[in-house]
Structure 1
Amino acid sequence: MNWNPDEHYKNRAVAADYDASRFSSISGRVFNFLEKRTVAKCFSRLPKGSTIADAPCGTGRLAGVLLAAGYRVHGFDISEAMLDVARRRLDSYGESFTCEVADMKKHPPGGPMCDGALCARVLMHFPLDGQIEFLTGVANLSRSIVVINQSLDSGYQRFRRRLKRWLGNQPPAGFPISNGDIRLLLEKSGLREVGRHHLLPLVSEAVYIVAEKV
């Protein structure tokens, strides 16, 4: 499949349908609930009122969790279309939510400018070198912790991915990585792991990692 994550989400129709297409089913609603709860838990060490960089911010689904918990959020995304959805969704938070278009791989903003950073649902779209490039840009935005999510590669998860393909479900992550590669990813990005949260180990490859700047 010729699918380019750097271009796909710039489409306004894709942006408008993003949340409904992924989180309307029963499994999608369960995953959405668990992911939001996990993100809030990962940032609980930061004092309320801290500013968190959300890159990529997408439609603001996870930014809303952080805003509701009392944080300020500055979103970055390569897609103006996705940010337009986020602005409408989070309008009630006023100046606590700001955002801008940015390419974390080619032209990352200078930093650090925020107290923490979130990098969710993107790294698994790129080979490891691209993941390091993207995460380095995100890590440079944070003065302290960086929370990332990854698709964990293991024998069991490889079996699950083959089964999903056979059943014709939504294609799994393109570049899941092993624990060894996660250590390399963090090291090359100037980070070290201090905590980990699995959403549902038996039915999901998603894992959230809390890391500190080295």
Structure 2
Amino acid sequence: MNWSPDEHYQSRKVASEYDRKRFASVPGRVFNHLEKRTIVKCFARVPKGQTIADAPCGTGRLAEPLLAAGYRVHGLDISDEMLEIARQRLRGFPGRFACEVVDVKASRPHEPLYDAALCARVLMHFPLDQQVEFLTGVARLSRSIVVINHSLDSGYQRFRRRVKHWLGNQASANYPVSNADIRVLLQQSGLREVQRYRLASLVSEAIYIVAERITPAAESARARQSQSAAAVS
């Protein structure tokens, strides 16, 4: 069966059941709590009050802890059905949450529009070349960092996926990535990893990467830091 994430999430039924199917169980609630806490930690270097682009925003589940932490969030998603759930969920943050239907893979202005960006729970749906296309679009939105969520591939995680499949659990990521894939993904998207978080690595393949945009200014600052370190040593 050909499964298209672009089409799948534009179903009203899928949107209305999305959170319940994934996060209503006890393990799902625990994962939801840990993931929200990790996402806020990833943006700790971004001053409160600044605006974070959440692409794709989906049902607003991860926008919610960022808003609660004092940020503004602008949600972008290809599915208005998912965004309608987000609008209802986040109506308690008037003036600090906005959203629009956007395909971030499409061309947008070169000038970054937001102070930072979040790209969560989407890249693992696509092969690596399409991941690069998607993440490049998200990176263009950010003036500083981009926080990325992905599924890490390893021998242990492949074993876990097989066990989950045997038990009839929800299918794992279609396109998990190795560390080598992550380096390619970031480099070709114009990003550089600066920090990484794991979420319950024994029971989850989720990985969270804080990456900075590779700009001339960032390159110069990195070169100065390297020269200073070399001079000290």
Normalised by the shorter chain, which TM-score bucket?
A: over 0.9
**What's the secondary structure of 1:49's corresponding residue?**
coil
Q: How does 1:138-153 map to 2 (within 5 A)?
A: 138-153=138-153
TM-score under structure 1 normalisation? 0.98
Distance in 1 between residues matched to 2:107 and 2:99, nearest whole Å: 14
Question: Take 1:172 and 1:198, find their aligned partners in 2: how far apart are those partners?
Answer: 17
Determine the structure 2 residue equivalent to 1:62.
Answer: 62
Residue-by-residue CA offset, 1:162-209 (whole Å, 9 max, x unaligned): 111111100000000100010110000000000000001111000000
Q: Which residue of 2 aligns with 1:44?
A: 44
**Residue pairs, 1:84-95, within 5 angstroms:** 84-95=84-95
Give the distance between the partners of 2:150 and 2:89, measured in 1 at CA: 25
Asked if the contact 1:196–1:209 (Cα under 8 Å) also holds between the matched residues in 2, the reply is yes
Percent of aligned positions that are identical:
69
Partner of residue 97, structure 1: 97
Equivalenced residues, count: 213
* 3-state SS in 2 of match to 1:162: helix
Query: Which one has a bigger Cα radius of gyration?
Result: 2
- Whichever residue aligns with residue 116 of structure 1, its letter is A
Q: Deviations over 1:36-65 (max 9, x none)?
A: 000000001100101000000000000011
CA distance in 1, matches of 2:53, 2:133: 17
In structure 2, give the amino acid aligned to 1:181: D
Deviations 1:56-86 (A, max 9, x none): 0000000011100000000000000000110
Q: Distance in 2 between matches of 1:20 and 1:187?
A: 36
Runs of 4+ aligned residues of structure 1 deviating over 6 Å after TM superposition are none
Structure 1 residues not aligned, in runs of 5+:
none
Map of 1:80 onto structure 2: 80
Q: How many Å separate the matches in 1 of 2:20 and 2:167?
A: 21
Q: Which runs of 5 or more structure 2 residues have no equivalent in the other structure?
A: 215-233
CA RMSD of aligned residues (A): 0.8
Contact 1:102/1:108 (8 A) holds in 2: no
The one-character-per-residue Cα deviations of 1:3-48 (angstroms, maximum 9, x if unpaired) are 1101001000110111111000011001000000000000011001
